[in-house]
A = this chain, B = another copy of it.
Amino acid sequence: MSDATRKLIERHWALANARQWDGFARLLASDLQYDVPQTREYIESGAGYLDMFSTWPGAWRATITRLVCDGDQAVCIIDFDVDGQRMTGISVFEVRDGRITRVTDYWPEPYEPPPRLSAHLKRRPAAA
């Protein structure tokens, strides 16, 4: 089960990167529910989710950096590269009968940390 989920999520990103939208569409449940908790955005169909991907601007490419699968759930962390910028995306997937039924996306952005009480927290320099 976890293996099938892993293959499905890998295929989701491979087909998205290849802009193979017919194949991509076949991975999606018709009533797929998509949520972005940080912006309160949502989509209520597989067709809508496909439309979001196929209209996303720029020469973007997703690279899986971690994929943790547990039965019919998975969490996938990606580097999302577009126009020389790299973002981190975290997607929680739910799967049923070989199709993706739910996707919840998080886009954690850099921020300045507050003062810390523990002296054990160090900080790496910013990338050049």
Q: Which residues of A contact B (CB under 8 A)?
A: 2, 36-45, 47-49, 51-52, 55-57, 66, 68-70, 73-75, 77, 88, 90, 92, 106-113, 116-126
Contacts of A38 in B (CB 8 A): 108-111
When the two chains form their complex, are residues B43 and A123 in contact, meaning their CB atoms are under 8 A apart? no
When the two chains form their complex, are residues B45 and A88 in contact, meaning their CB atoms are under 8 A apart? no
Of all chain B residues, the one with the shortest Cβ separation from A92 is B66
Chain B proximity of A73: nearest CB distance (Å)? 5
When the two chains form their complex, are residues B2 and A88 in contact, meaning their CB atoms are under 8 A apart? no
Assembled-state Cα–Cα distance A123/B38 (Å): 11
When the two chains form their complex, are residues B45 and A120 in contact, meaning their CB atoms are under 8 A apart? yes
